[in-house]
Structure 1
Amino acid sequence: MTGFAITSPAIIRRFAFSAITLALLSGCSSTDHAVQPTETVTNESSVQVTLAQPPKAEQPLTLNQIMANPDWMGIFAQGAYWSDDSQAIYFSRQAHQAPTRDYYKQGIQQNTAEKLSLDQLHLADQKNAVLNLDKSKKAYIYQGNLFVKDLTTATIKQITKQNQAIDGVRFLSNGDIAYWQGNNIFRLHQSSGLIEQLASIQMANKPEQIQEPNTYLAKQQHRLINYVAMQHDNAKAKQEYTKQLAAVDPSFAAKTWYLGDSEVVSELSLSSDGQYALLALTDKNYSWRSEHDIMPNYLGKDGYVDAVPARARVAEDKFPGQRLVLLDLTNHVKKDITIEGLTGFDEDVLASVKQENAAAKGETYQSEKSPRLIQLMQDWGWSQSAIQWHPTENKLLVMIEAVDNKDRWIASVDLDKGTLVTEHRLHDDAWVNYSYNQYGWLPNSDSFYFLSEQSGYSHLYLKQLGGETRALTEGEFVVDEVTLSPEGTHFVYRANPDHPGSFNIYRTEIATGKTEQLTNWFGMLSYELSPDGKSLLLNASSSIQPNELYVQPIGGEIKQLTDYTSNAFKEYAWQAPKVVAVPSNHGAGEVYARVYLPEGFDAEAADKYPAVIFNHGAGYLQNAHYGFSVYFREFMFHNMLTQRGYVVMDMDYRGSSGYGRDWRTAIYRNMGTPEVEDLKDGVAWMAKNVNVDAGKVGTYGGSYGGFLTFMALFNEPELFQAGAALRPVTDWAHYNAPYTSNILNTPDVDPIAYERSSPIEFAQGLEKPLLIMSGVLDDNVFFQDSVRLVQRLIELEKPMFETAIYPVEPHGFKQPSSWLDEYRRIYKLFEQELKK
């Protein structure tokens, strides 16, 4: 294990935007109906919240209820993990918008949880920990300080008690503990308790050594003025004495490393014996923040407009990549890692794109080889480091990605030469997925495992250093969440072989490849394997049941642990959406979708139904599944629409996750076209199969879903009769670089892709009523996106659009009143335009 990586500009760049990719909820709202009675309650953090009275099972839904404070549905368990003895579960709960959360422990044989007091939290078996080789001890960081727990006696010892936070920790192969603060690495000797500084890394130039006078005036001064000459000789002698003393005196700490003043340390990782440190360095002048823009907060606390810093746009974000440096801490030798060992390190992978763009301008492009920018792989779905040291030997693997998004390498590092050796190259002409990148060493071997989409689907592979690759799983399904069993004989993982919208947990024996299904859940779930490897902690849901925690012994029966869903929610007569496969008329095969049917649905009725298609956010997200949707407000809103006589469809259009590489990359350089083709097929399916009037269909969605609403209304004006775009992207050149450059490259390289994928380029096609709604404090999709499009529509003299702004809202709305206002407008639009 490599412990915890320090915070880095590159990680900030990737993960700051992983949280703000378009996967944030696009929410729901409320109607024109009278506000229901409310009650004030005190949650377990002593924060008062106002809840709407829950609906009675026989009553129709109202927008006031749907968009109310969601605590009425239940305050659910979050961040659950196992206790060290595999006999209990820890988790937290936090009321909507409460400033703090409460923490709990629940035995797997108990039916209720015990709330932990604040003075117990440092003793709660911390999840993010590292183990020593025999797994008898764990080390972890709590509130910035280092703790060690003896797993045989359950005793906990606090190692540090200071205000300067520790950034990372690992056990060394001899049992000592190494930790680092900033760019300083320390070793705690278990035998003596001595704390030794292994490295002091200074991102500065090395101080100049005392030099002999070398100009006429300097030489004259030393020759004529004895005092000057004496001061020089004394300083030189002291410097030499200190150097000699440090070389022979064992009490001295290691020499300082001076790595120059032009870079910063992005990530740091220490070898298992403490001899080597691998650093990833980034240009210190790079920032993911914009040099030009701010986000104005018009409701600043002092009555003025606050200028909030904003992230850079893909059109201006020039990430310089990283370089790797290996430090031999024992011999004080630095090696700059060269990238020539990466297969294809200098290929012009964008040659065809550049040629197409050059030809469009009447120019030619001559392809030339040149070293590409690289960085450590930053996977948005796991917290594992891209640097993997062998647990017992000085062997090192790194996972590296090209900044141009076309390659991901797993490479071993020659520690003597400072070179890379390609062990596996995953190339994609579109882009390498930012998910499915788990990898690591097998214990007591020279082999490693990894996930790869090389077959078209994420699967699990094994490879010996320098050897052949062996597939452990295969088929047209997705594998993720890989865990190596404690004894190192099996892999446990999540997969969806039976249906794209239903996941279960599986186990494969490494030696034989024998696979067994461990759970039999119909819906969505994630898991954590217990420390003893005997049980699974499941966070599972069905289409009308929110996530609850379950425990299942391997080979045993599942048991529900938590029951935080309110009775009011459980007792309401929710309609479970049907998951259907919509045949594609555009070469996509089948498109999975959720369908909600009206109350009293009659396929033979003379009057055809109006319909609404919801477009999920994120683009790369799965929502047509059998689990409880992250879009819980929309789920309730869709139930309400069926009560008002609508058919509702929710499609996993091309680009969605869960369906493999080809589905994901179908939108490469052409966002908004394949997806709208899928929406067309969805409308045709509803007209043919569920008695929908194809002339009375509307659409809506937030973030990426808002973008699709624009593309549909602008480019297929007869497809929908009305649309609502929430927090929508209008011009991809203004979105962030980590997300957008994957799919569209960058605007300076591939302007064609941006111009055919950005709604603002097609605004002249608007012919049907459009509602645009944006939060002013949206730091993901800027409010300016909507402002620019509105001005474009005004200049095009388009009269059929309206706007609504929400002054205090970020990308994922927070205030129930904002949700209510937003969905009241959406519902009104559909009632006016689809029921004429």
Structure 2
Amino acid sequence: MRVSSFAWVLPCLLPFAGVVAQSRPAPSAALGALTVEKIMRDPAQWLGSSPTNIGWSEDSKLIYFNWNPEKARRDSLYVTTPAGRAPRKVSPAEQRALPTTAGEYDRAYARKVYEKNGDIFLLDLKTNRTRRVTNTADRETSPAFALGGKLISYTRAGNLYTWDPATGETVQRTDFRRGTRPGSGQPTDPAEKYLRAQQLALFEVIRQKDQDAKARVRTQKALARLSPKAIYLGPKTVESIQLSPDGRLVTYRLVQEPANDKTAIVPSFVTASGFTEDISTRTKVGAPQTAYEMGLYDVARDTTFALGYKDLQGLDELPAYRKEYQLKAKPPVPADSAKAKQKPATELRRVVPYGPFWSDDGQRAFLVVRSADNKDRWIVSLDPATRNIKLLDRQHDEAWINGPGIGYDESEATVGWLPDNRRIWFQSEETGYSHLYTLDVTTGQKKALTSGKFEVQKTRLSRDRKTWYISANKTHPGEQQFYRLPVEGGALTQITTLPGASEVTLSPDEKMLAVRYSTATKPWELYVMDNKPGAKARPLTHSTTPEFESYAWREPEIITIRARDGADVYARLYRPTTATTQGPAVIFVHGAGYLQNAHKWWSQYFREYMFNNLLVEQGYTVLDIDYRGSSGYGRDVRTGIYRSMGGKDLTDHVDGAKLLVDKYGVSPQRIGIYGGSYGGFITLMAMFTQPDVFRAGAALRSVTDWAHYNHGYTDNILNEPYNDSLAYVRSSPIYYAAGLKGALLMCHGMVDTNVHFQDIVRLSQRLIELHKDNWELAVYPVEDHGFVEPSSWTDEYKRILKLFETNLKPAPDAPAGGQ
């Protein structure tokens, strides 16, 4: 399978006509001193809009991207050339003629099949001719080449179809049906079985009708011999349907949704109708989860099978945290007792299968299998004839499996076959950092192609499959550079060199790189360069406005903090031009948990970056820490919060506060903290459990009780609340609210479908019952988790600034008060 790595994969269908002058926003007044009102305006109107969604035409002559230099309400599609012709907007007529979604190439990269607007198209890359494969009211998806490229396969209404380019014939390959087969089988209930036998024994006419019904079924089956087998799914649905390379096997994944899963409702109060409208959102952590199994349909034998995993190594192992609870709950048993000699009953964990991934010659296949609790990932070979699986590689983590190129699902996993049809490749955190490996499925020999204390973040094979192209943070955790590597391994050759981050989209002929590049002080712009080490990158866009450029934005220092456990923690430091003895400081806490912000490129928290500049103008020292749990630093940092959110992630901030006092002259009585989402959670934990360190805090869209957050995120870190209740109590701010001393501001959107408004309401009630009066809650009736309206951003950050000015600027001996 060869899937394009970018969203716009465009043939050279149209000439580059009508070149226009590159759009630049009209000049505007200099920004001057920063204010909340200035920096929280609509960024498209005064900062500029960076190019996104970069892609090449199939002939490597054009570069397409989304952009908004005209300050419109949304981005538009633009096109330029590697030579640097001025970008121009693509007309609606042109866009209708272009394939706008990713697709799949055949082995020779001579054809590409793709989906557009629910129909399937086949593009001949030599002639630039496009053929329409389907034109229906139904939506067709998942196009692929089948039978060695002779057919095109796709799915429609939950079934697999193929289309023959030579004859135009369409064949339905599966017949999946919801429910149970009409009149199928005998009753299983004993009472019903008795009644049926009684009816057949007593009445001749009933016996004859039963025999006639069975005869009709046999006749219909004989007449329909060439049709696919009707496979009844019961309450399940089907996905990931694939035809094996030889056409003899159809693989699919069965999905069983949990019954009666209760979904949280978020009411929206400010609506166009004038009535309160309910938004159905999600379940909470620990709710019953979707179950998966892999099915196989043997076409020749007209038989279906379910793949079993009971022999997977470690599938019956109890996670370590569960063993702790068992030890606490059960008294010790004497070693010589009969009970001690009994083998405990095994508990097989649920799994989620992905694949299969077939070799080019169609002779071999492998699956990626993950445990539902994400503590194991197995790679297993699949023998289609025997339906047996064989372990190739197991990655186990008592915390949870993740990391670049590994991910939670098939779309995030980086795996495949090498051209010898004998070795597979994949990424693993086996050494503590995500690196690239190959494994011989015939001998089991595994080889690491990269190694070191850095992460391989993206990987792809060249079209001739002789070279790896890799994005990695090898030079510094806060840089992203592009490399190449021989397919058999060796030295990494660095191609991009500019400090900061280079997001690379390789041209189809692999001679050029379209590079989205930024630094800590300059937003993303589009560049182009030759695919050669040290080649010069040439700019293709200029997106920022004169007003934005008129301000001398501060480049933060990247420092390391030696944490109390000896770990090096990276951080951004902003210092006032004129040092103030015993001055105030603010610590910003990034959100998402597993995210990196102490880096050398333009932050996705650009509003907070500008607000930190404003704080420095006002005399604050600002620290922005990549605390434990952040991405970019390997497994140990990623899992440092396992079963204890508000543990090392919080002490990293306390250690950062100590560094501000010891090294940068900050007053220990004048330190504030703020952040949103996970950053809001840390702020609450800081204000509740470290009240003598943090005098004031602003907690935005905060998780207050992890038992009320979603399953996919929380279960990995804290396990299930009914299995690991101690981890939830240990990690949830609502249990520590009694410790509040300083001034607390909380801000939350009322239609937040991620961290529900209910979270902050529950904490507010807790604070009321604790008779706390040094807190404030600001609500935003039309905002979801990520604020959109400039008015909301402005109101929120004016309140944050007021909080800090009121509580951190007075003399250290002044009492901490409300706002």
1:363-402 equivalences in 2 (<5 Å):
368-376=345-353, 386-402=355-371
Deviation of the 1:220 alpha carbon: 7.2
Question: Is the deviation greater in 621-630 or in 496-505?
Answer: 496-505
User: For 2:249, which of 276, 280, 283 is the aligned residue?
Assistant: 276
Query: Which stretch has the larger CA shift, 74-83 or 649-658?
Result: 74-83
SS at match of 1:805: strand
Q: Which residue of 71, 79, 82 corresponds with 1:108?
A: 82
Q: Percent identity?
A: 37
Q: Distance in 2 between matches of 1:67 and 1:521?
A: 30
Q: Which residue of 2 aligns with 1:20?
A: none
* 1:338-388 superposed Cα distances (whole Å, 9 cap, x missing partner): 10342211111x2x42243356667789965221101136xxxxxxxx542
CA distance in 2, matches of 1:106, 1:286: 52
Which residue, out of 696, 713, 719, partners 1:739? 713
C-alpha change, 1:363 and 1:698, in structure 2 (3 Å) is farther
Task: For residue 520 of structure 1, report the CA deviation from its aligned partner.
Answer: 0.3
Aligned counterparts of 2:627 and 2:212: Cα–Cα separation in 1: 77
Q: 2:237 aligns to what?
A: 264
User: Following TM superposition, by how much is the alpha carbon of 1:182 offset from its aligned partner in structure 2, in angstroms?
Assistant: 2.6
RMSD of Structure 2 on Structure 1 (CA): 2.6
Aligned in 2, Cα 1:579/1:215: closer, same or farther, shift over 3 Å?
A: closer
Instruction: Tell me the equivalent position of 1:406.
Output: 375
Aligned match for 1:705, one of 668, 672, 679: 679
Kindly provide the CA deviation profile for residues 96-119 of structure 1, in whole angstroms up to 9, marking residues without a partner as x.
Answer: 997754212222113322322223
CA contact (8 A) 1:2 1:388 kept: no
Note if contact 1:53-1:65 (Cα within 8 Å) is conserved in structure 2. no
Q: What are the residue-to-residue correspondences of 1:293-692 with 2, within 5 Å?
A: 293-315=264-286, 317-348=287-318, 350=319, 352-358=320-326, 368-376=345-353, 386-433=355-402, 435-437=404-406, 438-466=414-442, 467-555=444-532, 556-584=535-563, 586-598=564-576, 600-602=577-579, 607-692=581-666
Q: Which runs of 5+ in 2 are unaligned?
A: 5-24, 187-194, 334-339, 407-413, 811-819
**Deviation for aligned residue 1:140:** 0.2
Task: Confirm or deny: 8 A CA contact 2:472 2:481 kept in the other structure.
Answer: yes
CA distance in 1, matches of 2:463, 2:393: 26
Give the aligned residue type for 2:362.
E
Alpha-carbon contact 2:269-2:781 (below 8 Å) kept:
yes
Cα distance in 2, alignment partners of residues 448 and 831 from structure 1 = 58
Counterpart in 2 of 1:61?
A: 34
Deviation per CA, 1:175-214, whole angstroms, max 9, x where unpaired?
Answer: 2111111321111112211111111112332233799x97
Q: What is the TM-score with the length of structure 2 in the denominator?
A: 0.88
The verdict on how the C-alpha distance between 1:286 and 1:517 changes in structure 2, with shifts beyond 3 A counting, is farther
Task: Evaluate the alpha carbon distance shift between residue 222 and residue 626 of structure 1 in structure 2; reply closer, same or farther with a 3 A threshold.
Answer: same
Q: In structure 1, what residue type is equivalent to 2:366?
A: L
Q: What secondary structure does 1:499 align onto?
A: coil
Please give the alpha-carbon distance, in whole angstroms, between the structure 2 residues aligned to 1:52 and 1:558: 27
Shift in Å at residue 798 of structure 1?
A: 1.1
Q: CA deviation at 1:405?
A: 1.7
**1: CA distance, partners of 2:80 / 2:607:** 29
Match in the other structure for 1:159: 133
The alignment covers a number of residue pairs equal to 761
How many Å separate the matches in 2 of 1:55 and 1:731? 46
Alignment deviations for residues 233-289 of structure 1 (CA, whole Å, 9 cap, x no partner): 876665444433333xxxx5333222x3132114323323333222221214458xx
What CA distance in whole angstroms lies between the structure 2 residues aligned with 1:572 and 1:829? 25
Structure 1 pair 55/669, CA: closer, same or farther in 2 (3 Å)? Answer: farther
Q: Which of 115, 122, 134 matches 2:108?
A: 134
The answer on whether the counterparts of 2:515 and 2:526 sit within 8 Å (CA) in structure 1 is yes
Q: Could you say if the C-alpha distance between residues 93 and 714 of structure 1 is closer, same or farther in structure 2, counting changes exceeding 3 Å?
A: same
Give yes or no for contact 1:616–1:705 (8 Å, CA) kept in 2.
yes
Q: 1:504·1:520 contact (CA, 8 Å) conserved in 2? A: yes
Q: In 2, distance between residues paired with 1:54 and 1:658? A: 38
* Gap change, CA 1:691 and 1:100, over 3 Å in 2: closer
Q: 8 Å contact 2:688–2:738 — kept in the other structure? A: yes
Contact 1:278 1:326 survives alignment (8 Å): yes
**By how many angstroms is 1:399 displaced?**
1.2
What's the offset of the Cα at 1:398?
1.5
Amino acid at match of 1:306: E
User: 2: CA distance between counterparts of 1:204 and 1:562?
Assistant: 55
Q: What residue number does 2:14 align with?
A: none
Aligned to 2:411: none
CA distance, structure 2, for counterparts of residue 54 and residue 794 of structure 1? 48
CA distance in 1, matches of 2:26, 2:758: 34
Q: Which amino acid aligns with 2:565?
A: G
- SS of residue paired to 1:205: coil
- 1:222-241 matches, within 5 Å, as 239-241=217-219
- The 1:217/1:500 distance shift into structure 2, 3 A limit, reads closer
Give the aligned partner of residue 19 of structure 1. none
The farther-off stretch of 558-567 and 483-492 is 558-567
SS in 2 for 1:824: helix
User: Following the alignment from structure 2 to structure 1, what is the Cα–Cα distance between the partners of residues 114 and 177?
Assistant: 26
Unaligned runs of at least 5 residues, structure 1: 5-50, 378-385
- Structure 1, 546-555 or 649-658: larger mean CA deviation: 546-555
Q: Could you tell me how far apart the structure 1 residues matched to 2:583 and 2:517 are?
A: 34
Q: Is the 8 A contact 1:358 1:364 kept in 2?
A: no
User: 261-270 or 610-619: which moved more?
Assistant: 261-270
Asked if the contact 1:84–1:125 (Cα under 8 Å) also holds between the matched residues in 2, the reply is no
Q: Does the 8 Å contact 1:441/1:447 carry over to 2? A: yes
Partner AA of 1:270 in structure 2 = L
Question: Distance in 2 between the 1:460 and 1:512 partners?
Answer: 9
- Report the Cα distance in structure 1 between the residues aligned to 2:402 and 2:657, rounded to whole angstroms: 30
CA distance in 2, matches of 1:280, 1:79: 31
Bigger drift between 802-811 and 68-77 goes to: 68-77
Q: Deviations 1:507-533 (Å, cap 9, x if unpaired)? A: 110135232111102112322222222
Contact 1:518-1:554 at 8 Å conserved across structures: yes
Question: Greater CA deviation, 779-788 or 118-127?
Answer: 118-127
Q: 1:161 to 1:645 in 2, by over 3 A?
A: same
Q: Name the aligned partner's letter for residue 273 of structure 1.
A: D
State the 1:94 CA deviation: 5.6
